[in-house]
Structure 1
Amino acid sequence: MMNPSVQTISAQEITLHQLSETFGLVPTDEAQFFPEWQENLPELSPVEQQWLDQVKDDYLHLSQYPMLEPIVKMVVLSPLLSVAGFYRSPFYLAAEHEVRITSQDNGTTVRGKIDILICQPQFWITVIEAKRAEYSLKVGIPQALAYMMAYPQPEKPAFGLVTNGTEFIFIKLSQQPTPHYSFSNEFSVLNQGNELYRVAGILKKLGQIAQSLN
């Protein structure tokens, strides 16, 4: 029988304030906390750049119409994951993966399902939370952080990507010694050039980190 004193919150409804109050999760402004999105990024081949140019063109055309999550995933995320190498061994994908975290202090439980979870045996590399194109990234950030808190190896960092198909922001979470997180800069398909190159490069870098920590 469920304990009536235990509060259950949907991850889709969680706020940053609730994560802070319940789990002690706080941001950090330490410059060296999240260097992975800036330093020594893998270069893309001319073929990969050409493909991402086409992805940008396709997105700009389709964004003239309503774009729900399945379309965002298909048009933008699928090519990015392919370029990053996440469709190949040793990685695999899980969709609608259910997670649960519970505060030891007050018994509050957060439950939800991750949109796309990129896995490696014993290692989660990134949580991807795709939102409708007209939604701000702020809608998905608390949800992604709640999922990342459920990472089964808290001694290792977890990485996340939140995107609405237009903008992209990476998150790093560390639970040692206490839960804290930081963001990358925000990248946009609408900016000059093609910032999908940078997004793909960061994803490749996170893939390398996953394999080195396995």
Structure 2
Amino acid sequence: MTLTVEASSLSLNDVHRFLKLEKLSNASFVDFLSLEPLSEFEQHDLLKIRNDFDRYLSARKISEGLVKFLTIAPLMRLAGFYDVPIRLTMEDSIAIAVEDEDRRITGRMDILAINSPQSNVAPPFWVVVIETKNSAVEVGEGLPQLLTYAFKSLEQQPSVWGLVTNGLRYQFVYLTHNQQQNYQLMPLLSLNESPDAIELLQVFKAICKLPSFQ
């Protein structure tokens, strides 16, 4: 009998054990991405995103839905994720079967950016998997879910970027599949810190521009 497990109930130890996913030492963005300077227009829009979020955060806890609306959506638009051939999907249901364990892990992704090729022959490439939490939840609590969802992409591609955020803090993760599936945590970024906010948008732009074979 197959046991069905919700991804939201997993701990990091569960993810490591069930998915045979190994954590490597933390890495730097520049190890994998080419970060370009922001234009004045981009910096102006980024400041507006920061101010809008700060205004809501000062008033009350911000829900997951508002985190997506106030920060993720405008950041991804500014970074180019709304352009062809990338397609965004939200709350897609996925199922991950773990062959050497008698269980099936299920869940719903918050946001998935897919590079959809023009040809029907080539499979779609998962650009980035995003898990959002409300502003009162620490980003580390969403890491097991994010890793579980991003793990699914390694069946068809060698690597994928993931992000878990509560709107204020942003934890990027880089997953790869060589001889074994593994992941590396990137530096934690904060939207309310100017250097971090600039790097955050630079990272989004760099991931958006990655060719689908990486």
Letter of the 2:50 counterpart: K
Q: CA deviation at 1:42?
A: 2.1
1:152-197, Cα deviation, whole Å (9 max, x unpaired)? 6444101111110000010011122111100110011233x25222
Give the one of 93, 110, 115 matched to 1:115. Answer: 110
Q: Which residue of 1 aligns with 2:171?
A: 169
Q: Which residue of 2 aligns with 1:182?
A: 184
Q: Which residue of 2 aligns with 1:145?
A: 147
User: CA 1:19/1:80 → structure 2, altered by over 3 Å: closer, same or farther?
Assistant: same
Q: CA deviation at 1:100?
A: 1.3
Extract unaligned runs of 5+ from structure 1: none
Matched, 1:94 2:89: yes
CA distance in 1, matches of 2:77, 2:48: 14
CA distance in 2, matches of 1:31, 1:163: 18
TM-score by length of 1: 0.90
Secondary structure of the residue aligned to 2:71 is helix
Choose 79-88 or 21-30, whichever is displaced more. 21-30
Choose 40-49 or 148-157, whichever is displaced more. 148-157
User: Alignment length, in residue pairs?
Assistant: 206
Secondary structure of the residue aligned to 1:213 is coil
TM-score by length of 2: 0.90
Matched, 1:14 2:10: yes
1:18-75, Cα deviation, whole Å (9 max, x unpaired)? 1111121110117589822xx5212221101000001111111110212101111111
CA distance in 2, matches of 1:100, 1:156: 19
User: CA 1:164/1:30 → structure 2, altered by over 3 Å: closer, same or farther?
Assistant: closer
Secondary structure of the residue aligned to 1:105 is coil
Extract unaligned runs of 5+ from structure 2: 117-123
Secondary structure of the residue aligned to 2:204 is helix
Q: In 1, are the aligned partners of 2:63 and 2:133 still within 8 Å (CA)?
A: yes
Secondary structure of the residue aligned to 2:84 is coil
Give the one of 45, 48, 51 matched to 2:45. Answer: 51
Overall identity of the aligned pairs, in %: 26
Q: Which residue of 1 aligns with 2:213?
A: 213
User: CA 1:72/1:99 → structure 2, altered by over 3 Å: closer, same or farther?
Assistant: same
Letter of the 1:72 counterpart: V
Letter of the 2:199 counterpart: R
CA distance in 2, matches of 1:166, 1:30: 21
Q: CA deviation at 1:7?
A: 1.4
